[in-house]
Structure 1
Amino acid sequence: MNANAFSLQSLIRSDPATDPAFVFDGTPVSRAEFAAKIEQTAAWLAAQGIGKGDVVAVWLINRIEWLALLFAAARRGAIVAAVNTRYRSAEVAHLLQLSGAKLMVVEAAFRSIDFAAILADLAKDEVPALQKLAVVGAEAIPAQWPCVGFDAFDRSYPPTRPAQDDIDQPVLLYTTSGTTKGPKLVAHSQRTLASHAASVAKALRLDPQRHSLLAMLPFCGTFGMTSLLGFVAAGAAIHVLDAFEAAAALKILDQHRITHSFGSDEMFRRILALTDAPRPFPHLELCGYAAFQPGWRELAVEAEARGLPLFGLYGSSEVQALFAIARASDAFSDRIEGGGWPMSPDASVRVRDTETGELAAPGVSGEIEISAPSRFLGYFNNPDATRDAITADGFFRTGDLGRLRGDGSFVYETRAGDAMRLGGFLVGPGEIEDELKSHGGVADAQVVAVDLKGQARCVAFVIPTAEPPNQETLVSHLRERLAGYKVPARIYLVDAFPVTDSANGVKIQRARLRAMAMERIAAE
Structure 2
Amino acid sequence: MTDRTLFDLLDAAPAHAVALRFEGSAITYGALRERALRIAGGLRRHGIGRGDVVGLWLPNVPDWLSIAFACARIGAGVMSLNMRYGAKETGDFIRRARCKALVYMPAYRGKDYDALMGAVEPQSLATLALAVPLLQAPVHAPSDRAGAVAHPWPRVARVDLDDLAGAAPDAVAGGEPGDACIILSSSGTTSQPKLIVHGQGRVARHAGDVAAALAMQGGDVRLLLAIPLCGAFGYTVAMTALAAQAPLTLVENFEPAETARLLVADGITHMFGTNDMLDKLLEAGGPEWKPQALRMYGHANFTPGLMALPQRAQQRGIAMRGCYGLSETLALFASQPAEAPLTRREQSGGVPLAPDARVRVRSLETRECLPPGESGELELLTPDVMLGYLDDAAATAAAFTDDGYLRTGDLAYLNGDGGFTHLSRIGDVLRIGGYLVNPLEIEEVVLAASGAAACQVVAVEAHGSARPVAFVVGGSGYTHAEAAVLAACKAQLAVFKVPIRVFRVDAFPVTPSPNGEKVRKNELRTMAQQMLAAEETARC
Q: When the two structures are superposed, what TM-score results if normalisation uses the length of structure 2?
A: 0.92
Task: Give the whole-Å Cα distance in 2 for the aligned partners of 1:161 and 1:97.
Answer: 29
- Please name the residue that 2:349 is paired with: 339
Residue type matched to 2:58 in 1? Answer: L
Structure 2 match to 1:87:
85
Q: Indicate the residue corresponding to 2:501 in structure 1.
A: 490
Q: 1:404 maps to what in 2? A: 414
**Is 1:329 paired with 2:328?**
no
Aligned counterpart in structure 2 of residue 479 of structure 1, from 481, 484, 490: 490
> Within the alignment, does 1:367 sit opposite 2:377 as a pair?
yes
Amino acid at match of 1:492: F
Query: Superposed, which structure 2 residues align to 1:21-40 within 5 Å?
Result: 21-40=19-38
Question: C-alpha displacement at 1:183, in angstroms?
Answer: 1.0
Mapped contact 2:59–2:252 kept (Cα < 8 A): yes
Alpha-carbon separation, structure 2, partners of 1:494 and 1:72? 46
Q: C-alpha distance in 2, partners of 1:14/1:425?
A: 53
Task: Tell me the CA shift for residue 104 of structure 1.
Answer: 0.7
Query: Which 10-residue stretch deviates more, 487-496 or 151-160?
Result: 151-160
| DSSP 3-state at the match of 1:302 | helix
Q: 508, 514, 524: which one pairs with 2:519?
A: 508
Q: Structure 1 pair 15/476, CA: closer, same or farther in 2 (3 Å)?
A: same
Give 1:451 shift. 2.1
Q: Which residue of 2 aligns with 1:42?
A: 40
Classify the secondary structure of the residue corresponding to 2:404. Answer: coil
Query: How far, CA to CA, are the matches of 1:315 and 1:203 in structure 2?
Result: 15
Q: 1:450 aligns to what SS in structure 2?
A: strand
Q: Are the aligned partners of 2:15 and 2:31 in contact in 1 as well (CA < 8 Å)?
A: no
Which piece of structure 1 moves more, 298-307 or 365-374? 298-307
Correspondence for 2:443: 433
1:440: Cα distance to partner?
5.8
Aligned residue runs from structure 1 range 311-326, under 5 A? 311-326=321-336
Aligned residue for 1:183, secondary structure, equals: coil
The alpha-carbon deviation at position 327 of structure 1 amounts to 1.8
Give the whole-Å Cα distance in 2 for the aligned partners of 1:61 and 1:464: 31
**How far does the alpha carbon of each residue in 1:372-431 deviate from its partner, in whole angstroms, 9 at most, with x for none?**
022101001111111111111111111111110111110110011100110121111011
Q: Is the 8 A contact 2:282 2:289 kept in 1?
A: no
Shift in alpha-carbon separation, 1:485–1:115, aligned structure 2, 3 A? same
Match of 2:399 among 380, 384, 389: 389
Q: Distance in 1 between matches of 2:308 and 2:519?
A: 18
- Which amino acid in structure 1 is aligned with residue 211 of structure 2? A
Q: 1:152 to 1:348 in 2, by over 3 A?
A: farther
Tell me which of 288, 312, 318 is aligned to 1:278: 288
Aligned to 1:146: 157
Which of 160, 179, 196 is the matching residue for 1:186? 196
Instruction: Tell me whether 1:135 sits opposite 2:145 in the alignment.
Output: no
Contact in 1 for aligned 2:433/2:496 (Cα 8 Å): yes
For the residue of structure 2 that corresponds to 1:430, the secondary structure is helix
Deviation at 1:469, TM superposition (A): 6.0
Per-residue CA deviation, residues 454-502 of structure 1 (Å, 9 max, x unaligned), is: 4211101134575746433432332232222111121113344444431
Whether the aligned pair in 1 keeps the contact of 2:424 and 2:438 (CA below 8 Å) is: yes
Q: CA deviation at 1:9?
A: 1.8
Unaligned ranges ≥5, structure 1: none
For residue 156 of structure 1, what is the amino acid of its counterpart?
Answer: A
- Which of 238-247 and 469-478 deviates more? 469-478
Residue type of the partner of 1:14?
A
Q: Distance in 1 between matches of 2:491 and 2:20?
A: 55
**TM superposition score normalised by structure 1:** 0.94
Counterpart position of 1:9: 8
Structure 2 counterpart of 1:123, one-letter code: E
Alpha-carbon distance in 2 for matches of 1:207, 1:382: 38
Work out the CA distance in 1 between the residues paired with 2:64 and 2:492: 51
Q: Which amino acid aligns with 2:121?
A: A
1:231 aligns with 2:230: no
**Structure 1 residues 118-170: Cα deviation after superposition (integer angstroms, max 9, x where no partner):** 1111122233111221111157641433322112575114744222x421121
Structure 2 CA distance for aligned equivalents of residues 238 and 125 of structure 1: 39
Over 3 Å counting, the alpha-carbon distance change for 1:63 and 1:410 in structure 2 is same
116, 119, 137: which one pairs with 1:118? 116
Measure, in 2, the Cα distance between the counterparts of 1:12 and 1:410.
36
- 1:517 aligns with 528
Q: Secondary structure at the match of 1:446?
A: strand
- 1:290 is aligned to 2:312: no
- Which residue matches 1:212? 222
Q: Which residue in 2 is equivalent to 1:62?
A: 60
| Aligned equivalent of 1:378 | 388
How many residue pairs get matched? 521
> Aligned partners of 2:101 and 2:454: how far apart in 1?
44
Contact 1:139 1:148 survives alignment (8 Å): no
Q: Mean alpha-carbon deviation: is it higher for 483-492 or for 504-513?
A: 504-513
Counterpart for residue 261 of structure 2:
251
Question: Within 2, Cα distance between the matches of 1:194 and 1:423?
Answer: 47
Partners of 2:167 and 2:236 lie apart in 1 by: 31
Helix, strand or coil: the match of 1:315? strand
- What is the CA-CA distance between 1:368 and the residue it aligns to? 0.7
Q: Which sections of structure 2, spanning at least 5 residues, go unmatched?
A: 143-152, 536-540
What secondary structure sits across from 2:285 in the alignment?
A: coil
Q: Which moved more, 1:462-471 or 1:129-138?
A: 462-471
Q: Which position in structure 2 is the counterpart of 1:155?
A: 166
Secondary structure in 2 matching 1:274: helix
Give yes or no for the alignment of 1:446 onto 2:444: no
Taking only aligned residues, the RMSD between alpha carbons, in angstroms, comes to: 2.1
Q: Which moved more, 1:177-186 or 1:426-435?
A: 177-186
Structure 2 counterpart SS, 1:21: strand
1:20 is matched with 18
> Using a 3 Å threshold, how does the CA distance of structure 1 residues 123 and 438 change in structure 2: closer, same or farther?
closer
